[in-house]
């Protein structure tokens, strides 16, 4: 008898669901009456259940599968397109040479190093800041007006066009604070660009931590900071690291804020300190793709392949680290 009730609850979607649930109420009432009647109705209920459940089960599954196929297909088209266009231009020069006007000699060395420095620094700034903000808002701010406003501001920040971050960083950091058009300014701009992503993930995953865990810790005499750092933080780290992978990819592909802050393409030396001028891969690619010569357009495709490979490598490293940390937390 309970079986019928449970099923109704599970498949309770759309109009079909509500019809079944009214039937389920009938079933419950019938339970008090004769058993023959009850069995017959139960039988009917099961038939109804399987028909609707089958449709929703397979319908949903097909829909999900189509969704996966569409995104996989689009991604494949893009990848194949880029690879076919650029594969002929792939060469070690692309990694080891500086910018050049000769297609065969041109490389992205300064841009690759610039990208790596900038993005690494940006993540190093955004990650502790984002986690701390998220923890505070959820564990200490606890739904008061101010923290709700901060939360709303953060989600709005995620929708601000990235070039605005570049403009603000340029006027405030480069000129007011006199940091110049340097790597540090670029990374701070990128850090704030990805900050909402990390903070919102932190807040959401902190909410997922069962309150029983916190209460158990309190019951054992833990202080609040101990609960936050020893109970909550370890549980959210894997999710937050996932968001940092997304943040990394986002920061790596940004051209607009860096175009405003640095604007440089032609740099023929490696960036050494965080106060050096720099350029990044998307800028270099953007410059190549907008040239009249077909060869440079092919070169930009090769540049995109290099960018993707570097991104892939970084993501693999990040995922490996996350899984290690996750295992340690579970143990």
| Residues forming the site for another protein (CB under 8 A) | 61, 65, 68-70, 72-81, 84-85, 99-106, 259-260, 262-269, 277, 287, 289-297
Rounded-to-integer distance, Cα 189 and Cα 253, Å? 14
Q: Give the Cα separation of 150 and 146 in Å (integer).
A: 6
Q: How far apart are CA 106 and CA 113, in angstroms?
A: 15
At its nearest, how many Å lie between another protein and the CB of residue 176? 14
Residue whose entry in the numeric block shows the structure tokens 């990819």: 249
Minimum Å gap between C-beta 277 and another protein is 6
Task: Report how far residue 320's alpha carbon sits from residue 322's, in angstroms, rounded to the nearest whole number.
Answer: 5
Nearer to another protein, 217 or 301 (CB): 301
To the nearest whole angstrom, how small is the minimum distance from the Cβ of residue 200 to another protein? 30
Q: How far is the CB of 326 from another protein (least distance, A)?
A: 25
Closest CB to another protein among 166 and 196?
A: 166
Nearer to another protein, 24 or 166 (CB): 166
Q: Which long-range contacts (CB under 8 A, 24 or more apart) does 78-87 make?
A: 79/308, 82/301, 82/304, 82/305, 82/308, 83/301, 83/305, 85/297, 85/298, 85/301, 86/298, 86/299, 86/300, 86/301, 86/302, 86/303, 86/304, 86/305, 87/302, 87/305
Task: Rank residues 15 and 102 by Cβ distance to another protein and give the closer one.
Answer: 102
Q: At closest approach, how far in Å is the CB of 274 from another protein?
A: 17
Q: Which is nearer to another protein, 106 or 252 (CB)?
A: 106
Q: Are the beta carbons of 233 and 100 closer than 8 angstroms?
A: no
């Amino acid at each position: 008898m309970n079986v019928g009730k449970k099923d109704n609850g599970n498949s309770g979607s759309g109009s079909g669901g509500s019809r079944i649930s009214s039937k389920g109420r009938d079933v419950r009432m019938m339970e008090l009456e004769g058993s023959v009647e009850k069995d017959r109705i139960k039988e009917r209920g099961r038939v109804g259940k399987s028909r609707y459940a089958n449709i929703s089960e397979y319908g949903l599954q097909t829909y999900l599968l189509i969704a996966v196929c569409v995104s996989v297909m689009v991604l494949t088209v893009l990848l194949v397109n880029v690879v076919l266009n650029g594969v002929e231009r792939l060469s070690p020069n692309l990694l080891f040479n500086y910018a050049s006007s000769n297609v065969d000699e041109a490389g992205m060395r300064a841009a690759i190093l610039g990208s790596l420095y900038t993005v690494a620094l940006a993540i190093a700034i955004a990650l502790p800041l984002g986690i701390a903000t998220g923890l505070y808002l959820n564990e200490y701010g606890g739904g008061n007006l101010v923290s709700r406003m901060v939360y709303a501001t953060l989600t709005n920040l995620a929708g601000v066009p990235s070039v605005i971050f570049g403009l603000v960083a340029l006027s405030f950091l480069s000129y007011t604070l006199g940091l110049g058009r340097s790597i540090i300014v670029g990374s701070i701009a990128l850090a704030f660009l990805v900050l909402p992503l990390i903070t919102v993930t932190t807040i959401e995953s902190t909410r997922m931590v069962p309150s029983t865990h916190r209460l158990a810790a309190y019951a054992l005499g833990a202080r609040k900071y101990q609960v936050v750092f020893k109970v909550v933080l370890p549980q959210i780290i894997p999710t937050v690291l996932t968001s940092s992978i997304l943040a990394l990819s986002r920061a790596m592909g940004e051209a607009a804020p860096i175009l405003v802050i640095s604007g440089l393409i032609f740099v023929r030396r490696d960036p050494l300190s965080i106060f050096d001028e720099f350029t990044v891969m998307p800028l270099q690619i953007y410059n190549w793709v907008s040239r009249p010569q077909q060869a440079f357009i092919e070169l930009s495709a090769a540049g995109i392949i290099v960018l993707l490979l570097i991104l892939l490598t970084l993501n693999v490293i990040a995922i490996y680290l996350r899984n290690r940390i996750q295992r340690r937390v579970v143990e």
